[in-house]
Amino acid sequence: MFLEHFPNELNQHGWIEVVCGSMFSGKTEELIRRLKRAEFANQKILLVKPSIDDRFHKEDVVSHQGSSFTAISVNDSKEIIELWKKEKVVAIDEAQFFDLGIVHTCTYLAEKGVRVIVAGLDMDFQGIPFGPMPQILSIAEYVTKVHAICLSCGNLAQFSHRTVEQKEQVLVGAVEEYKPLCRSCFNKISH
């Protein structure tokens, strides 16, 4: 029997998808969920994370809920392309910690037919767009913004309020250093 194909049906087209939100919103959990689906479909996967993020495990990406997936720690975005061995899926966790070269890396991979999945904080603890995330969001085909629950009032939270005094932008931490807040509660504390 002769099977007809749609034009370009057999060509792999790449794209960029982003999962963003505040601390404790489930970004990494969603990233891992997507990777497990790709793994079930026997797709080759490369998962990387910035070497600065060693909170739960030196190599694996681990969510706050305890889900994990094998990853490779890298120091900068150039290493990702060097590590890529034609995997169909390349995932990047904690993208806000990478240099601006990550934007080129994502674009390059997508143009090579790769499904690029990026997870990261869209804003820092002051509510300012974080690192390369604004540029990645603007070039992505798909964006999913996930929310935590505000620990002050119970509404949806999109801000990561820092509960310790350190003022540098990058402070890798968890529940001891951050709590999710909605806009109203964040503004009450911040102003």
DSSP 104-145: HHHHHHHHTT-EEEEEEESB-TTSPBPTTHHHHHHH-SEEEE
Number of neighbours of residue 169 by Cβ within 10 angstroms: 12
* Chain segment 44-78, per-residue pLDDT in tens: 999 999 987 655 556 777 666 666 678 999 999 99
Nearest to 143 by CA among 174, 122, 162: 122
- Which comes out higher in pLDDT, residue 91 or 165? 91
pLDDT band at 172 (very low <50, low <70, confident <90, very high): low
CA separation for the pair 133, 103 (Å, rounded): 9
Using a pLDDT cut of 70, give the percent of the chain over it.
79
Identity of the highest mean pLDDT range in 25-29, 139-143, 172-176: 139-143
Active site residues: 94
Non-local CB neighbours of 15 within 8 Å, separated by 6+ positions: 110, 115, 116, 140, 141, 142
The domains of the chain, with CATH numbers, are 15-146 (3.40.50.300)
* Chain segment 28-49, per-residue pLDDT in tens: 999 999 999 999 999 999 999 9
CA separation for the pair 4, 26 (Å, rounded): 41
